[in-house]
Chains A and B, each alone.
Chain A
Amino acid sequence: MRELDVADVTRAVADLCMDACYNLGDDVLAFFRAAVEREESEAGRDVFRQLLENAEIARREAMPLCQDTGLTIIFLEVGQDVHFVGGSLEDALNEGVRRGHTDGYLRKSAVEAPFAERKNTGDNTPAIVHTGIVPGDRVKLTVVPKGGGAENMSALAMLKPAQGREAVVDFVVDTVSKAGPNACPPMVVGVGVGGTFERVAYLAKKALVRSIGSANPVPRLAELEDELEERCNRLGIGPQGLGGRITVMDVFVEEAPAHIASMPVAVNIQCHSARHKEVVL
C-alpha cells in the first residue's frame, strides 16, 4: 500500500487547471497550422490565424486562451494500492480547483440553484469528478476545463436498436449541424454509443481527451469516426460558422455494451479550445 498525501493532489489539480487554460495542446496547434493552408474560405483561414496568435499570447502571458475557463471536469484514475492520507480526497480536488481559478486569474463560472438565484459559487467549485479504480499504486489526474457554449449544444438520444448505424450517424451529424456557430467550430465531437443513460454521456465526455488525429483501435469504430468526420465537414459550417470546409477537427467514438432494448447515443461537443492536461502521481 502506497500512501499519498491529498495535499499533493490539490497542488496537481491547481497546476493542471492553469496549464490547461493557458497552454493549448500540441495536437490542436498542429491542426491549426495545417488548417491555415487547407481551409478554402478566406474568413476561415483568418480564424485559424487568429487562433494561432491567440495561443501564442496566452502561452507567453500566462493568461487564459478563452475567458470561459469552464466547469472543471476531473477524470481520476486511482490505483487500488493507493491509500490517501491528510484529509478528504474530494475536498482536496475542490481545493485544487479553487486555487487554480483564484491564483491563476481564471474565471469563476459555476452557479448554484441553476433555475433560481443562480448565485456564483465564487471559486468555480464543485468540480465534476469521474473516478475509476485501476490496478497499481499510481494516481492519474486529467483536468478538462469545459466551456458552456459547446456543452449547451451537446445532445443525447435513446434510439431504438432497429434504427441501426444510420440513425447513429444521422443523430451525430444533426447535432453538429444544429450546433453551428454557437459551439465555436472547428469542434471536437465526442460520441458515446451504448451503455445506459449516464454511461453513454460519460463515454462521450471521456472521448474528448483523445489526441486530434487519433483513431479508435477497433476498425468498425475507426471507420464510423471517419464517416462522421466527413459528413460533418460537408455541412459547410466552417471555422466559427462563417462558412468553410473545416467544421470539425476530429470525431471520437467510444462504445459500451447496451441493454437488449437500448441503443443510447450521446454527442458531447467541444469547442476548438480543446483543453485538457494530465499528470500521474
Chain B
Amino acid sequence: MEKTLSTPLTEEMVAGLRSGDRVLLTGMVLTARDAAHKRMVELLNKGEPLPFDIAGRVIYYAGPSPAKPGKPIGSIGPTTSGRMDAYTPRLLDLGLKGMIGKGYRSPAVKEAILRNRAVYFAVVGGAAALGAQRVTGARVVAWEDLGPEAVRELDVVDFPVIVVNDIYGGDLYEEGRRQYEQAAAS
C-alpha cells in the first residue's frame, strides 16, 4: 500500500512518514550531486545566496543521461548519497526537507534529519529507464556547465520512493538487514 505526497513537503507531511513506507511523489524535485553540492556550500561559505530555493524542497541525487530529441530527460536513477554527506547537514539546517538517493547516510546526516524534521528516501538504483517514465519535465536551473551534474528542476508524477530515515530515528537499511541476517553456519 502506497502513500501519495505532493511537493513542497511540509513538517506535517514528513511527520506522517515511517521507515519502510512506500510513497508516490508528485511535484517538483531538484537534482544535485557531487559537483553541485560543492558549489552550494562554497557559496554559503562566502555568505552568498543559492541560485535556487531549497526550503521545503526535495533534492534527488541524480545525474541523468542525455535526453533524446523530443524527450524531457534521459535515463535517471539515484547516485550513492553518502558522497553528499559532508554537505548535507548544512542544507538541512537551511530548510531542505527531503532527499532521494541510495545507500547509507552518516551519523551527522541522520542527526540533522532528526533535528530539522526531514526525510531520506531511497529509489531503486539502476532502474533509470523506468525512472525516466515518471519525469514529465526538466529544466536546468543552475550550473549548466556541469553537464550531467547541473542542477535541474524535475516535474515528477507518481515517482516511487521508499522511506529510509524518518524523524523518529527509523532506518530501513538497518531494520531490513536485521530482519534477514543469518549467523554463519558453524
Q: Which residue of B lies closest to A271 (CB)?
A: B126
Q: Which of A136-144, A197-205, A211-219, A238-246 contacts B (4 or more CB under 8 A)?
A: A238-246
Known: A236-B177, A240-B125, A242-B162. A107 touches B74 (CB 8 A): yes
Chain B residues contacting A47 (CB-CB under 8 Å) are 124
State the Cβ distance, A264 to closest chain B Cβ, in Å: 24
Known: A180-B173, A237-B177. A53 touches B130 (CB 8 A): yes
Interface centre among B79, B146, B177 (most CB of A within 10 A): B177
**Number of inter-chain CB pairs below 8 Å:** 164
- Residue of B74, B104, B127, B180 near A181 (CB, 8 A) is B104
Chain A residues contacting B20 (CB-CB under 8 Å) are 43
Interface residue count on the B side (C-beta < 8 Å): 48
State the Cβ distance, A116 to closest chain B Cβ, in Å: 12
* Contact indicator B68/A66 (Cβ below 8 Å): no
Give Cα distance in the complex from A197 to B74, angstroms. 38
Chain A residues contacting B125 (CB-CB under 8 Å) are 66, 149, 184, 240, 271
In chain B, positions 62-77 with a C-beta closer than 8 Å to chain A are: 62-68, 74-77
Give Cα distance in the complex from A57 to B77, angstroms. 14
Q: Which residue of A lies closest to B128 (CB)?
A: A67
* B7 interface residue per 8 A CB criterion: no
For the complex, would chain A's binding face be called helix, strand, loop or mixed by DSSP majority? loop
* B46 interface residue per 8 A CB criterion: no
* A146 interface residue per 8 A CB criterion: no
Give Cα distance in the complex from A158 to B108, angstroms. 32
* Contact indicator B177/A63 (Cβ below 8 Å): no
Give Cα distance in the complex from A273 to B130, angstroms. 13
Known: A64-B75, A236-B179. A242 touches B173 (CB 8 A): yes
Known: A105-B68, A149-B80, A240-B102. A65 touches B182 (CB 8 A): no
Known: A69-B65, A240-B125. A57 touches B180 (CB 8 A): no
* A221 interface residue per 8 A CB criterion: no
Chain A residues within 8 Å of B, Cβ to Cβ: 40-41, 43, 47, 50-51, 53-55, 57-58, 61, 63-69, 105-109, 118, 120, 122, 147-149, 152, 180-182, 184, 230-231, 234-238, 240-245, 271-273
